[in-house]
Chain A
Amino acid sequence: QSVLTQPPSASGTPGQRVTMSCSGSSSNIGSNAVNWYQHLPGTAPKLLIYSNNQRPSGVPDRFSGSKSGTSASLAISGLQSEDEADYYCATWDDSLNGRVFGTGTKVTVL
């Protein structure tokens, strides 16, 4: 199982703000930058946030990331129907000498 723990689900109505957490340890989030990915099953995953809080070109500023200690979080403001997807955090783990993904959070737009 993954060393990064995310809540299995989150939901909100259109326009609301939704947040999700990613909990790790000193060997992963505590030591390395966190990235976030959006994934609709059957499609290519998409990088949303890199280096804890940076957005790649083309990603709306409705998506924001933060990190504190051994935890990180992703926020989606102004929730839209197209945001309904699975969201994964990821980082490097120095103890495992490998990249680790979170367990994933499924966002539902009510």
Chain B
Amino acid sequence: EVQLVESGGGLVKPGGSLRLSCEVSGFTFSNAWMNWVRQAPGEGLEWVGHIKSKADGGTTDYAAPVKGRFTISRDDSKNTLYLQMNSLKTEDTAVYYCATGWILLRWGQGTLVTVSS
């Protein structure tokens, strides 16, 4: 059974940093492109970015609002995806989900990040 479990969310002050993790099981993580998607309170889904598999170059793409502040990485030996979030703003408050593949087939349950003073 495919499982994705996000962790690392919490309360952080504006300008602060946080690292989210997404631990996966039930499929070959190293072959998968992985995504982060977020949902702010009362808003819709917003793609944050993705990381390709190492076989496809391991490169990343980001949405404009987070480019230069967020970094997606992966550790295939630990079946874990990461989202390093720096220079956090109040508008980054959201539930953050990880999701698999080009079509975002499988999703985790999400972890809440609150940016507030």
Seen from chain A, the residues whose Cβ lies within 8 Å of a Cβ on chain B are: 2, 35, 37, 39, 43-47, 50-51, 56, 86, 88, 90, 96-104
Contact = CB atoms under 8 A, between A and B. Distances in A.
A97 B63 CA distance: 8
Given A44-B97, A99-B50, A50 B103 contact: yes
B63 A45 contact: no
Given A43-B109, A44-B107, A44-B110, A101 B44 contact: yes
A64 B97 CA distance: 25
B11 interface: no
A101 B97 contact: no
A62 B105 CA distance: 19
Interface SS majority for chain A: strand
Given A98-B64, A99-B35, A47 B103 contact: yes
B44 A2 contact: yes
A103 to B, nearest CB: 6
A97 B76 CA distance: 25
Given A98-B63, A99-B47, A35 B104 contact: yes
Given A37-B45, A102-B44, A90 B105 contact: no
